[in-house]
Chains A and B, each alone.
Chain A
Amino acid sequence: MTMLLEARDVVSGYLNRPVLHGVSAQVSEGEVLAVIGPNGHGKTTFLRTLSGFLDFRSGEFSFAGKRLEAASVHARVEAGLIHVPQGDQLFADMSVQENLLMGAYLVSDPTLIAERLERVFTLFPRLKERRAQIASSLSGGERRMVGIGRGLMGDARLLMLDEPSLGLAPLLIEQIYTALAALRQEGYSFLMVEENPSRLMSFADRISLLDAGRIVWSGTTEEARQSKDILTTYLGGH
């Protein structure tokens, strides 16, 4: 397996408040890495740093063979690193279809765009019915679908998902993860962040535990299952 994403000793944070104190992560082609950990300990900051919203104070970051730690957000998207942010961040006054088309902003081939649109609609048939509806009037589950679907419209090689189950009912979480599993079959790689790890155990290949801005444990999902005490300590057990 070739390495797709490699971040090493990432230090970053906000103006007067460093959040990450040297975080490393690797994702191979077709692999799923889940970063879990308590709230407010840097998971979202990590993703925002990788997607270019926050500067690297130090550390290295390469994606698909390119060094990206100093690249613009635009360049990272162009390289195929797609960030599906927490809380969906849809374009509230645009229709579902327009939101999806924004996801294909850097794609210029119209037939490719049409194909991908169809694929999103196959994955989430509900969106097809609601394609003309304004995003702000959608339900929470539908918004999540648009958020993920929008991420699939570009030339994604790896999807960074920030809490895809956040605020959803169990049934909807199930639906979202079924769709993610289908995408995995298609060969997408994932770097995901979750607070609630229960659903991840059957989805992720590897798990990293991020606490107070540092990775405190890393291993395969199998290892995580065996060393349950670690997960229990950090996450109150599940």
Chain B
Amino acid sequence: MDIPIQILVTGLTMGSMYALAAVGLSLIFGTLGMFNMAHGMFMTVGAYVVFSLASSLGLPMIGAVLVAMLTGALVGILTHLLIVRFMLTGTDFTTNVIVATAGLAILMEDVTLKMFGGYPYQQTVGVSGTFRIGGVVVSLQSLVILVVAMVCIGAVAWLLLKTRFGRAIRATAMNRDAARLMGVRTNTVFLQVMALAGALAGVAGLMISTVATLSPQMGGDPLLKAFVICVVAGLGNVWGAGVCAFGLALLEAAIGFYFGVRFGFPAMLILVIAVLIWRPQGLFGKEKVVRL
């Protein structure tokens, strides 16, 4: 009984972090048609800003989450205002923006490295302590991660489904021209989406840093997983991304447990490729998105 519980706990903790990253990534793709290669750096920056504020001022968990959100949102907004905005109407936007955000990623990574060095710092915020489920020791921080992720994703779902603001985002994603005909300022929507996704990424980065360490490259691994999750779900499918994040994290945890942690992700990737050969549009995607 303990093994399934252990896998479940690990899977849910990882799934929470992946979901935070993947939902934002998917939201950006769905609305702007943009694949954000710098999303991993959004996470990293969120974690580092909390780290520096917390080490000098001290921050409670809730404050740390807010700071991470604000930082991520700010980075998202700046990325849009300084780079993406100018490219949106150009030709080959999809590929060009991948190149531009990849460039941004390596630039930001380098800046982080120069500011903080490569030393793997320990995140200063976080709750300590453990509790037991059956024979499995679970850290309180895992629970915090799960709760924070659930609250954030729940809030995003509510925003998207129940508010006028969210309806405008969904409308823009579904049919940009029609949304403009309704009076939606799509440029503002793009900015809001970048802020929202950035905020989620910031939180994801903070959460990851509480269970791992801080390093300029810390965003790379979760970004990779978020990519794969988004592809499996069908690019731009926000709900699918949330579901797949947990599904794939549980799978990764199980494979990691039985075959060694190194193989968790590769096995997941092979599965993903198999899924795509069977359904090229992703598990939840629509046919038209990728064909031709």
Of the residues A72, A89, A102, contact of B177 by C-beta under 8 Å: A89
Interface members, chain A 52-91 (any B CB < 8 Å): 52-53, 72-74, 77-78, 82-83, 85, 89-91
Of the residues A77, A93, A105, contact of B174 by C-beta under 8 Å: A93
The answer to the question of A49 belonging to the interface, with a C-beta cut-off of 8 Å to chain B, is no
Interface members, chain B 151-209 (any A CB < 8 Å): 164, 167-168, 170-171, 174-175, 177-185
- Kindly provide the distance from the CB of B272 to the nearest chain A CB, expressed in whole angstroms: 24
B182 A92 Cβ-Cβ under 8 A = no
List chain B residues, Cβ under 8 A from A161.
Answer: none
A91-B175, A91-B178, A92-B175 are known contacts. Are A101 and B167 too (CB-CB below 8 A)? yes
A93-B170, A94-B170, A105-B168 are known contacts. Are A150 and B175 too (CB-CB below 8 A)? no
What is the CA–CA distance of A93 and B174 in the complex, to the nearest angstrom?
7
Q: Which residue of B lies closest to A73 (CB)?
A: B180
B170 A91 Cβ-Cβ under 8 A = yes
What is the CA–CA distance of A163 and B179 in the complex, to the nearest angstrom?
20
List chain B residues, Cβ under 8 A from A91.
Answer: 170-171, 174-175, 178-179
What is the CA–CA distance of A52 and B184 in the complex, to the nearest angstrom?
13
> How big is chain A's contact interface, by range?
20 to 34
What is the CA–CA distance of A98 and B175 in the complex, to the nearest angstrom?
14
List chain B residues, Cβ under 8 A from A216.
Answer: none
What is the CA–CA distance of A73 and B180 in the complex, to the nearest angstrom?
7
B184 A74 Cβ-Cβ under 8 A = yes
List chain A residues, Cβ under 8 A from B175.
Answer: 89-92
- Kindly provide the distance from the CB of A64 to the nearest chain B CB, expressed in whole angstroms: 15
The answer to the question of A106 belonging to the interface, with a C-beta cut-off of 8 Å to chain B, is yes
- Kindly provide the distance from the CB of A65 to the nearest chain B CB, expressed in whole angstroms: 19
Of the residues B171, B177, B180, B183, contact of A94 by C-beta under 8 Å: B171
What is the CA–CA distance of A85 and B177 in the complex, to the nearest angstrom?
9
The answer to the question of A13 belonging to the interface, with a C-beta cut-off of 8 Å to chain B, is no
Task: Provide the A165-197 mask, 1 if CB < 8 A to any CB of B, else 0.
Answer: 000000000000000000000000000000000
B178 A90 Cβ-Cβ under 8 A = yes
List chain A residues, Cβ under 8 A from B181.
Answer: 51, 73, 77, 82-83, 85, 89
B185 A74 Cβ-Cβ under 8 A = yes
A53-B177, A105-B164 are known contacts. Are A154 and B171 too (CB-CB below 8 A)? no
What is the CA–CA distance of A232 and B171 in the complex, to the nearest angstrom?
42
Q: Which residue of A lies closest to B161 (CB)?
A: A98
What is the CA–CA distance of A72 and B175 in the complex, to the nearest angstrom?
18
The answer to the question of A42 belonging to the interface, with a C-beta cut-off of 8 Å to chain B, is no
Q: List 28 A-B contacts (CB under 8 A).
A: A51-B181, A52-B180, A73-B181, A73-B183, A74-B183, A74-B184, A74-B185, A77-B183, A78-B183, A83-B181, A89-B175, A91-B171, A91-B179, A92-B174, A93-B174, A94-B170, A101-B167, A102-B179, A102-B182, A102-B184, A103-B182, A105-B164, A105-B168, A105-B171, A105-B182, A105-B183, A106-B182, A106-B183
Which of B's residues lie within 8 Å of A, judged by CB? 164, 167-168, 170-171, 174-175, 177-185
For the complex of A and B, the 10 pairs showing the least CB-CB separation, nearest first, are A77-B183, A89-B178, A106-B183, A105-B182, A91-B174, A73-B180, A102-B182, A91-B171, A105-B183, A74-B185
14 additional contacts (CB under 8 A) given A73-B180, A91-B175, A154-B183: A52-B180, A53-B177, A74-B185, A83-B181, A89-B178, A89-B181, A90-B178, A91-B174, A98-B167, A101-B167, A105-B164, A105-B167, A105-B184, A150-B182
